[in-house]
Amino acid sequence: MTEITQLLAAARDGDGDALKQVFEDIYPELKRLASARLAGARAGHTITPTVLVNETYLKLSGARRLDLVDRRHFFVCASKAMRQILIDHARKANAQRRGGDQAAITLTENLSGELGPTATLLDLNEALADLGELDAQLHDLVELKFFGGLTVDEIADLTERSTRSVKRDWSRARAFLHAQLGQSAPPP
């Protein structure tokens, strides 16, 4: 048994520290994979969280089939790590430009109308922290879906909930974050 599966087993038995250790183990591996891609000519288009997380999973679980609880723990940790890595990267890129514009995602993407308000990954991260204060479960869902790249069906499977209720929660989280981002962004 590899170390990570032992840690996951300990986490399953309620050992909270083990889970922290799992995160610590996942982080460098995921970061190594992500950095290689972030350093590419155009980072954005080659970062696919699902692929990265899955590669990490295969590597660290030693290709063993983990049971459901272990897999859940794994993906939760990996999604957190993914968020951390991307946010760190955004901060660094921001600092390098010394106050220059962050690359912005338009809320209303159109080619011929007005440019809508803009939001960045760092704005999103703050809005997500707010969401976490309101509802920790929604916060984790966003991590799994948005940062971990898992689909609603996969999340439903993993968390043993119905697709419908995961979808509903995602609608809640999405609406809150969208509303927050729309509010916080300065007019262009």
Partner 1 sequence: MSLSPEQQRQWREADEAFSRYLQEQPDNLEGWLAGQALGAAVAQRLKQLIDAHLTTQSPLDQTVSEWVPDASGANSALTGRRIGDWLLEDPIGRGGMASVYRARRDTDSFDQIAAVKLLNVGLISSRLRDHFDREQQILAALQHPHIAGLLDAGLAEDGTPFIAMEFVDGQRIDEHVDARSLGTAAIVRLFLQVCDAVAFAQQNLVVHRDLKPSNIMVDSRGSVRLLDFGIARLVEESDAEATTTRAFTPGYAAPEQKAGRQITTATDVYALGVVLFQLLTGQAPSQHLDADGGLATNALAALRRRDADLANIVAMAARPEPSRRYASAAELAQDLRLWQQNRPIVASPDTTLYRLSKYVRRHKVGVTAVLLTTAIGTIGIASTLWQAQRARQALVQANANAEQAQAVQDFLLEMFDGADPWSNQNEPLTANQLLDKAQENLPDRLNAFPLQKASVLAALADIQRKLGRFDQSVELAAEAADLFREAGREKDAVRLSLVQANALVDSLKLEPVEALLKEIIEASAEPSMIEHNMKARMDLARLHSHTGRYEEQSALIQELLTDLPKIEQQPKFAQVAGSVYATAAENYENTGRYWEAIDAAEQAMTLLTEAFGPDHPWVADALGYRATASFFLGEWDVSEDSMNRMLTILRSKYPPRHPQLLWGDYQYGRVLLEGGRYPQAVAHFEEFHQACADSIGVDDPRTVMALINLGHSYHGLGELEKARQTLDRAMPLVRAQTSPGNPKLGVALVRYGTLLSDQGELRAARQSFDDGFQQLAAATGTEHPQYARGLLLFAQFQLSQQQPSAALSSLDQALPVLKRVYGDDHEFVWVGLLLQGLAQHGIDPTQDTEEQLGQSLAALNDDRSQIKYPIPLQLARAILGTEQLSASEG
Q: Which of residues 92-121 bind partner 1 (CB under 8 A)?
A: 93-94, 96-97, 100-115, 119-121
**84 near partner 1, judged by CB under 8 A:** no
Name the 3-class secondary structure at 119.
Answer: strand
The residue range among 18-26, 36-44, 53-61 that interacts with partner 1, by the rule CB under 8 A, is: 36-44
CB 102 within 8 A of CB 122: yes
**Displacement of CA 160 from its chain's centroid (Å):** 20
**126 near partner 1, judged by CB under 8 A:** yes
**64 near partner 1, judged by CB under 8 A:** no
Smallest separation (angstroms) from partner 1 to the CB of 171: 6
Smallest separation (angstroms) from partner 1 to the CB of 175: 4
Q: How far is the CA of 125 from the CAs of 7, 10, 40, 87, in angstroms?
A: 28, 30, 24, 7
User: Which of 38, 141, 144, 155 is in the footprint of partner 1 by CB under 8 A?
Assistant: 38
Query: 105 — phi, psi (to 5°)?
Result: -105, 130
Q: How far is the CA of 123 from the CAs of 132, 140, 147, in angstroms?
A: 14, 17, 14
**54 near partner 1, judged by CB under 8 A:** no
User: Which of 31, 147, 150, 155 is in the footprint of partner 1 by CB under 8 A?
Assistant: 147
**151 near partner 1, judged by CB under 8 A:** no
Q: How many residues form the binding site for partner 1 (CB under 8 A)? A: 71
Smallest separation (angstroms) from partner 1 to the CB of 10: 11
Q: Which residues contact 142 (CB under 8 A, 6 or more apart)?
A: 128, 131, 173, 177
Please return the burial class of 147, using the count of CB atoms within 10 Å of its CB with bins 0-12, 13-18 and 19+.
buried
Please return the burial class of 71, using the count of CB atoms within 10 Å of its CB with bins 0-12, 13-18 and 19+.
middle
**18 near partner 1, judged by CB under 8 A:** no
**185 near partner 1, judged by CB under 8 A:** no
**78 near partner 1, judged by CB under 8 A:** no
**168 near partner 1, judged by CB under 8 A:** yes
